[in-house]
Amino acid sequence: MPVKTICWANNSIKIIDQRKLPGELKYIYCRDLKTIWDAIKTLAVRGAPALGVAAAFGVLLGVSKSKERNTSKFIKEIESVCDYIGTSRPTAVNLFNALNDIRKLVRENKDKSVIELKKLIRKCAFQIYEHDRKVCREMGKFGAKFIDNKKNYMTVCNAGSLATVDFGTALGVFYTAQKNKREFKVYSCETRPLLQGARLTAWELKKSKIDVTLICDNMAASLMRKIKISGIFTGADRIASNGDTANKIGTYNLAVLAKHHKIPFYVVAPFSTFDLNIDNGKQIPIEERKSDEITQIKGINIAPKGIKVYNPAFDVTDHNLITAIITERGVISPVNKQNIKKIFSCYA
Ligand code: MRU
């Protein structure tokens, strides 16, 4: 079964240190704000839904030890903790949605005492955590309908239990299909530069006894020509109002290849990954990361010293390349502004 990636334990945030996988399954206890900020920045904890939970627990961690007794000064502290966590990584909107949930809660309860506000923040953080567990299982049920017996599927990066509390979005679809006794194969793209596909997806699918085969990213096209791939399943970091979707760098390549090879391309993401404040993917902030993630492997240089590097962590897939977005409330297809608006107006 999938693993538990993040939880609240004895006044600390307990996370799997994903930088150490697959070699070592090691846990870190974040007991202060700086430690959880660093864990987010350095990808010890990662994946959009897990980042939402990490942000919520991060605020809880940051404010629970406050000695402040004056409510308005305490609210200022909460605001600055939220601002600080918001500087960790820019693309996954789940992180900002969690911070905004807490900000809104505090605004609506600005007359309460410090103790009451602390209790409300705690309750809200736990709700975000439980909600993730629930919606991943709902998405799994909707998505598993697209998995057939004896077929081949592909995924990129890690949208599994390691990217959520404990079940996954895209990989949650595979776990549900497995539970429904489907037999199928998954090809995991390694996902350069940080190898989330090789280190994390291959690890968790193998551990869960799903038939997984690892490929280098540049092997996807030739594999699509050689065998029939019946669907590509990915997660998302931010989905704009029109369905344009930011996900791990390389996702857009796969979507273009999928169109050429007539392979359905599915994005599996909860409502908390939508950013309805932006019209399209051009407005999604894309994180650029340090050059040594490309020029070095485990500290060893693999490129000339001083070489110029371009290292965006995400790309944007146009909505018209996406066959369907699988959410906790159902499947959006065709992917367009009207259909997204419709599902949100029914349920949000
Ligand atoms: O840089 P990462 O590892 O945080 O990127 C994660 C991804 O791109 C995932 O595919 C995405 O967050 C969806 S996770 C369910």
Give Dmax (Cα) for the chain: 67
Residue having the nearest C-alpha atom to atom 6 of ligand 1: 47
- Report the predicted TM-score, pTM, of the whole model to 2 decimal places: 0.97
Could you tell me the two tokens for 232? 């590509």
- In the DSSP assignment, the letter for residue 199 is I
Could you tell me the two tokens for 97? 């949605």
Could you tell me the two tokens for 59? 């605020």
Give the chain's domains with CATH numbers. 6-137 (1.20.120.420), 141-346 (3.40.50.10470)
Phi, psi of 174 (to 5 degrees): -65, -40
262 CA to middle of ligand 1, Å?
A: 25
Query: What are 249's strand-pairing partners?
Result: none
Sign of CA dihedral 340, 91, 172, 223: positive
Q: Name residues whose C-beta falls within 8 Å of residue 214's C-beta, 6 or more positions apart in sequence.
A: 187, 188, 190, 197, 198, 202
Could you tell me the two tokens for 165? 């509390």
pLDDT score of 348: 61
pLDDT score of 347: 72
47 CA to middle of ligand 1, Å?
A: 4
pLDDT score of 145: 98
Best of 17, 196, 266 for a ligand 1 pocket test (most atoms within 8 Å of beta carbon): 196
Spatial separation of the C-alpha atoms in residues 161 and 347, rounded to whole Å: 25
For ligand 1, residues with CB inside 6 Å are: 43, 46-49, 92, 157, 159, 163-164, 169, 196, 235-237, 247-248, 313
Spatial separation of the C-alpha atoms in residues 273 and 219, rounded to whole Å: 29
pLDDT score of 2: 72
pLDDT along the chain (348 residues), means of 10: 90 98 97 98 98 98 95 97 98 98 98 97 98 98 98 98 98 98 98 98 98 98 98 98 98 98 98 98 98 95 97 98 98 98 87
pLDDT score of 335: 98
Spatial separation of the C-alpha atoms in residues 241 and 150, rounded to whole Å: 35
pLDDT score of 1: 56
84 CA to middle of ligand 1, Å?
A: 21
Of all atoms in ligand 1, which is nearest to the CA of residue 269? 15
CB 55 within 8 A of CB 125: no
Tokens 């919520």 label which residue?
56
Q: Residue 268: helix, strand or coil by DSSP?
A: strand
pLDDT score of 346: 87
